Amino acid sequence: MRNGGGEAVLEARDLTKVYAPRRGQPPVHANRGISLTVHKGEVVAVLGPNGAGKSTFLRQVAGQLLPTSGTVRVCGIDVIASPLAAKRCMSVIPQECSPYDSLTVEEHVRYFGIIKGMDPRTAPGETSRLLSEVGLTEHRTKLIRELSGGLKRRVLIALALAGPGNQLLLLDEPTTGLDPASRRTVWKVIESLAGKGRGVLLTTHYIDEAEYLADRIVIIAQGRILAEGSPLEIQSRSASKGRLDIYDVDLLSAAAKAELDSLKGVWPVSFAREDHLRLAVPDPFSPEAVARLQGLSGLGVKATLAPASLEDAYLTIAGEMPET
C-alpha cells in the first residue's frame, strides 16, 4: 500500500444482487454476498471472468444499481440511504462511456467539474491543472470527436478527478481497448492518484494490469469472492511452481506427440486447447524439467518453461481457461 494503512474509504458488506426470474427462468444471482474494504492510498483490483459480477459490484458501490441486500459505505456515508452525500466522496469511470462529441476536452472538465462541485470562480485554473495531471494540456481545445480512444479515457479520468472529494475512484476496466502506450499512461495516472492518498477500486481482465497496479487483488467468480490478497499472496496459490507451455500442438510430429503423451503422465495438464497445452511443473528449475524441455526442442517442438505466474494462480483459483 502506497500510503500505509489509511482509513477505509469503502466498506461493502454482504452485497447481493438477485434479478427477478423472467418467463420461467430461475432468478439470476449477479452477486452473492460480497464484502470488501478499500483504504486511502490503496489500489484494489477485481479480477474475474466475464459475467463474474465485477461490474455489478462496482455499479452497486457507485450508487448506480440498488443491491438486493447488504450495505455500502463510502467515506462512512451510506450509499443507499444518502446517495448524494456519498457521491460527493467518489468518482466513477464506467466501462463503456463516450463523452459528448461536440464539446471540447476543456469544456467537459470545466462544466462537469462545476456540476460535481468545483468552484466556478476557480474552475478555469483547476481545469488546467487537471488536464496537465492526465497529460491532456495539448489537446484541451480539441473536440471529443477528434480524439483517440485512449485520449477519451483520459478525459473521463480528468472528469472523475474534477470537483472536491473524490476520496474513492471506481474504474470499470479502465484500459480495455487501449493500445499499450495508452495503457501505460493510464496506469501512471492511477498510480499517482493512489500516491496522493485516494482509494482506487478497479475491475480488469488484464492480469498484468492487476499485477502492476494493485496492492490487493480480489478474484470474483459467479458473484462470490474466491480469493483476496496481495499479488504475491495470490501468486503463491498457483497449483504448481512452474509451467511448461507447448505451442502448435496440432502440428506435432508422431515422435513429438509420443513424447508429449509421456510428459502428460508425469505432469498434470493445467490448460489445453487445440494448439496450446500447458503442463503444471512442480519445479521449473529442476534438471528433469530442463532435460524434458531440451528433449522437446530436439524434436522441433515450440515450448517454453517458466515459473508460475499470477495468471496461473488466477486460473487455478477461478478454474477457467484463458481466452486468446
Partner 1 sequence: MNGVFTQLRACMTQFFKSAQRELGLILAFFLLFPLGFLFFLSILVQPSFRPQILVGSIMMEVALININVLAQSVAQDKQSHFFDLWVSFPVSPLVYVLGNALPWLPVSLLTAGVTLAMGIYLFGISVAVAPLLLLVALVLIWSSTTGIGYLVAVYGGNPRQVNMLAQFVGIVMTFFAPIYYPVTALPLAAQYVAYAWPLTWGAILLKALFASNLTQAAIAILVLSLYTAAGYALIALGLRWRAK
CB of 22 to partner 1, least distance (A): 14
CB of 6 to partner 1, least distance (A): 22
Please give the DSSP secondary-structure letter assigned to residue 231: H
CB 35 within 8 A of CB 13: yes
Q: Of 4, 102, 274, 287, which one interacts with partner 1 (CB under 8 A)?
A: 102
CB 141 within 8 A of CB 127: no
CB 23 within 8 A of CB 214: no
Q: Does 65 bind partner 1 (CB under 8 A)?
A: yes
Q: Does 112 bind partner 1 (CB under 8 A)?
A: yes
Please give the DSSP secondary-structure letter assigned to residue 14: E
For partner 1 (CB under 8 A), the number of binding residues is 41
Q: Of 28, 51, 81, 97, which one interacts with partner 1 (CB under 8 A)?
A: 97
Q: Which grid cell sits at 114?
A: 462545476
Sheet order of strands, 303-307 included: 269-273, 276-281, 242-247, 303-307
Stretch that binds partner 1, among 33-41, 82-90, 126-134, 243-251 (CB under 8 A): 82-90
Q: Does 9 bind partner 1 (CB under 8 A)?
A: no
Helix axes of 287-298 and 254-266: crossing angle, nearest 10 degrees: 160
Q: Does 5 bind partner 1 (CB under 8 A)?
A: no
Sheet order of strands, 43-47 included: 90-93, 168-172, 199-204, 43-47, 216-221, 224-229
CB of 267 to partner 1, least distance (A): 45
CB of 253 to partner 1, least distance (A): 51
CB of 313 to partner 1, least distance (A): 32
Q: Does 83 bind partner 1 (CB under 8 A)?
A: yes
Stretch that binds partner 1, among 36-44, 117-125, 226-234, 297-305 (CB under 8 A): 117-125
Angle at 101 between CA 65 and CA 61, to 5 degrees: 15
Which positions touch partner 1 (CB under 8 A)? Answer: 59, 62-66, 83-85, 87-88, 90-92, 94-100, 102-104, 107-108, 111-112, 114-120, 143, 156, 159, 164-165, 170
